[in-house]
Amino acid sequence: MLKEGQIRIPAGCAISGIMNKKGELTSGQDIIKSIAVMHDRSNGLGGGFAAYGIYPEFKNHYALHLFYDDKKVKQETEFLLNKFFSIEQAEPIPTRNISAIKNVPLIWRYFAKPKVKEMALYESESEYVVDFIMRINSEVEGAYVFSSGKNMGTFKGVGFPEDIGEFFRLDEYKGYSWTAHGRFPTNTPGWWGGAHPFSLLDSTIVHNGEISSYDANRRFLEMYGYKCTLQTDTEAITYIFDLLLRKFGLPLESAVNIVAAPFWSKISRMNSEQQKLFKALRVVYSSLLINGPFSIILGSTNGFMALNDRLKLRSLIAAQKGDNMYIASEESAIREICKNPDKSWAPKGGEPVICLLDGKESLYEFDQVDENEFVRHSVAL
C-alpha cells in the first residue's frame, strides 16, 4: 500500500486550540481533555499537538524534531545536520509506553543553530532553515523533520490524539499556546509523518477539511520552490501562508482575503479604494484561493488565528474567558475545559479569529524584506 506522500489521502478531523494572552504557561492536560471529547471525529489514525513556550532554556535555538525509520537513516541525517547546523543538544524525545501506540519510529530532537558560513547563498536565515528541511523531507528516505521552530514543538503520531498526548508526556510540558488535531483519514497511512499538526519554522497548522483546490494550489506553490511531498491539504495550506506572509511580506489580513477571498458580489459593494485592493488580491493570487471546506488554526509564536472557508462548510467555534482564548471544532470541546466562557461564538465563513499575546501586533514577525529589492528566490537545489 502506498503511504502518505505517494498518494493523496483525504481526511476529516477535529481541531482544538487554547491560548493565554498574558503568556501564562499551562500544562498539556487541558488541550488533551478538550480534543479527547471529540474522540469520534478521529479514527485512531493520527493525532497531534503543537505547543508554544515549552523550551525556554533553548529559546534561541531551532528545536528540530525528527522521525527516523531506522538507525542507519538517523546516522545519515545527523551527518547532514552537523554539516549545516551547530547542534547544542541532541536527545530522544521522552515518551511513555502505552499499549494504544504501536509501531513507534525513532523520535529525536535537536536544539540547533545554523552554521553561518553555509548560509552565504541564502537571502535569510529562515530561507536557509526551510530549504534544509525541504531537502531532508523530500530527499532522505526514512527521515522526516516534523517540527522546526524556536521555543515551540510539534508532537504527533499514529493513534487517537489523547493517546498521542499521553505517549509524548505532554502533561509534563508547559506552554502558553496549544493546538491539537485528531484525524479521520479515509485510508490507512500508518505513517507518523502524516499526522498533524503540520509545521514549518514557528508556524503550525491544524486543519479540518478536504480542499477541492488542492492541485491548483500545489502547482502554484511549486513555482516558488515548495515541494508538496505529503500531498496533504494541511501541507499546502502551511506553504500558502508561508509564501504570502514570509516570502511576499503581505499583511495577515491580506493573506486571509486571498485564501478565503470575499465573493465578487461583495467586492462590488466596497468603496473604490477597497475594491481596488480586493480585486488585485483576487486577480493576482487567484491560484491561492482555498476552495472547499476547511477550518484551520494557524499557530505562531505570537498567538494563533482560526479561519473557516468562505462558505463555512466546516464547524468552528470560538470562546473567551478572561485572558484565555479557545477554539474548537465543537463547542463541547471548549465547555469540557471552560464551563462558563465570558462569550462564545461561531465565526463567519472567511472571518478570521485572531488571538495575539498582549503587546503583539501581528501573528508573524519575519526578517524584514526590503520591498524594492525583493527577488523571487527558489529554494530548489
| Residue 361 engages another protein in binding (rule: CB under 8 A) | no
What are the φ/ψ torsions at residue 334 (nearest 5 degrees)? -85, -45
Q: How far apart are CA 36 and CA 182, in angstroms?
A: 9
Q: Which residues contact 124 (CB under 8 A, 6 or more apart)?
A: 367, 369
Q: How far is CA 367 from CA 227, 246, 247, 354, in A?
A: 22, 8, 10, 21
DSSP 191-258: -GGGSS-EEETTEEEEEES--TTHHHHHHHHHTTT----S--HHHHHHHHHIIIIIIS---HHHHHHH
Using CB under 8 A, which of 188, 263, 332, 358 touches another protein?
A: 263
| Residue 264 engages another protein in binding (rule: CB under 8 A) | yes
| Residue 240 engages another protein in binding (rule: CB under 8 A) | no
| Residue 254 engages another protein in binding (rule: CB under 8 A) | yes
Least distance to another protein from the beta carbon of 349, Å? 11
Q: How far apart are CA 305 and CA 51, in angstroms?
A: 15
| Residue 83 engages another protein in binding (rule: CB under 8 A) | no
What are the φ/ψ torsions at residue 147 (nearest 5 degrees)? -160, 140
- As a whole number of Å, the CA-based R_g of the chain is 20
Least distance to another protein from the beta carbon of 253, Å? 8
Q: How far apart are CA 148 and CA 136, in angstroms?
A: 12
| Residue 250 engages another protein in binding (rule: CB under 8 A) | yes
With respect to another protein, which residue has the nearer C-beta, 8 or 135? Answer: 8
With respect to another protein, which residue has the nearer C-beta, 24 or 253? Answer: 253
| Residue 320 engages another protein in binding (rule: CB under 8 A) | no
With respect to another protein, which residue has the nearer C-beta, 84 or 184? Answer: 184
Q: Which three cell numbers stand for residue 252?
A: 495577515
Using CB under 8 A, which of 80, 313, 354, 356 touches another protein?
A: 313
Q: Which residues from 7-46 bind another protein, rule CB under 8 A? A: 8, 10-12
With respect to another protein, which residue has the nearer C-beta, 27 or 212? Answer: 212
Least distance to another protein from the beta carbon of 208, Å? 11
Least distance to another protein from the beta carbon of 319, Å? 26
Q: Which residues from 175-234 bind another protein, rule CB under 8 A? A: 186, 209-216, 219-220, 222-224
Query: Beta strand 47-52 with 152-157: parallel, antiparallel or unpaired?
Result: antiparallel
Which range touches another protein (CB under 8 A), out of 67-75, 130-138, 159-167, 284-292?
284-292
Q: Residue for cell digits 502558553?
A: 176
Of the candidates 251, 257, 248, 260, the residue with the CA atom closest to the CA atom of residue 280: 257
Q: Which residues contact 323 (CB under 8 A, 6 or more apart)?
A: 20, 21, 22, 24
With respect to another protein, which residue has the nearer C-beta, 10 or 347? Answer: 10
Q: Which three cell numbers stand for residue 6?
A: 505517494
Which range touches another protein (CB under 8 A), out of 38-46, 50-58, 262-270, 318-326?
262-270
Least distance to another protein from the beta carbon of 318, Å? 23
228 a catalytic residue: no
**Count of residues that bind another protein according to CB under 8 A:** 52
Is the Cβ–Cβ distance between 125 and 119 less than 8 Å?
A: yes
Task: Report, as residue numbers or ranges, the catalytic residues.
Answer: 13
Return residues touching another protein (CB under 8 A): 8, 10-12, 186, 209-216, 219-220, 222-224, 248-251, 253-254, 261, 263-265, 273, 276-277, 279-287, 289-293, 310-311, 313, 371, 374, 376, 378
